[in-house]
Amino acid sequence: MTGKVTIHEAVKILIDSCKERNAGDPFAAGRIREIILADLLGHNIAADLHGHDAIVKVNQNNFKVEYKTAFIEYGLRGRYDVSWYPTWEEQEKYLLTEKIGSSKYHYFATFDSSYVIQEVMELTGERVCDLLIPAFKSVYLSRDSRQDKKNSGLYASLGSPDIRAYGKLVYEVPVAGLHQWLEE
């Protein structure tokens, strides 16, 4: 090939770059969007796919952060899938201290089909808990048997209206000159 990078070469460059950053597998579901988002925000991507997605340094303190990403056609949103606990009290404690509340900030981003970030909204972990705990509780308490809980997931979602109402816009794609930049 004359001057063109093959797909194989491009994939190798991507994998090597992720290894250098300790970013894990870029081909895991949604992971490449998390890596791109961490780069844009200047965060350190987490090394594995369990728990928080990245670390952000604020005033000399490191904080865990959570990313929720989607392609723009699906809209600004975030789904939280969590483990079941035997009692609601244990479930709520897990949500507040280990799963959702343990991340200081939650970032919601949309991407176009070329993996260009269109916008990023930021909510605090505390606000996300305030918005999601009632939904989790409703689903949790509606389950009758432990068997039912074992065979179905526990999840809740935040949609664009809540994210926009309670979040802070931290990035929006600069429209002027975007097409020119993409062609270069």
**Domain boundaries, given as residue ranges, for the chain:** 7-183
SS3 of 42, please? coil
Q: d(Cα 140, Cα 144) in Å, to the nearest integer?
A: 9
What is the structure's pLDDT at 85?
Answer: 92
Distances (CA, A) of 15 to 7, 27, 67: 12, 9, 21
The torsion region of residue 101 among left (phi > 0), alpha (psi -120 to 50) and beta comes to alpha
Sequence letter at residue 107:
Y
Fold of 7-183: PvuII Endonuclease; Chain A (3.40.210)
Please report the pLDDT score of residue 50 as a whole number: 72
- DSSP letter for 173, please: -
The per-residue pLDDT for 47 is: 79
- DSSP E strands in 83-151: the ranges are 105-111, 117-124
Q: Hey, how many other C-beta atoms are within 10 angstroms of the C-beta on 58?
A: 9
pLDDT at 71: 94
Neighbours of 119 (CB within 10 A): 16
**Mean pLDDT, the chain cut into blocks of 10 residues (184 residues total):** 80 87 83 93 84 85 93 94 92 95 96 93 97 95 62 86 97 68 53
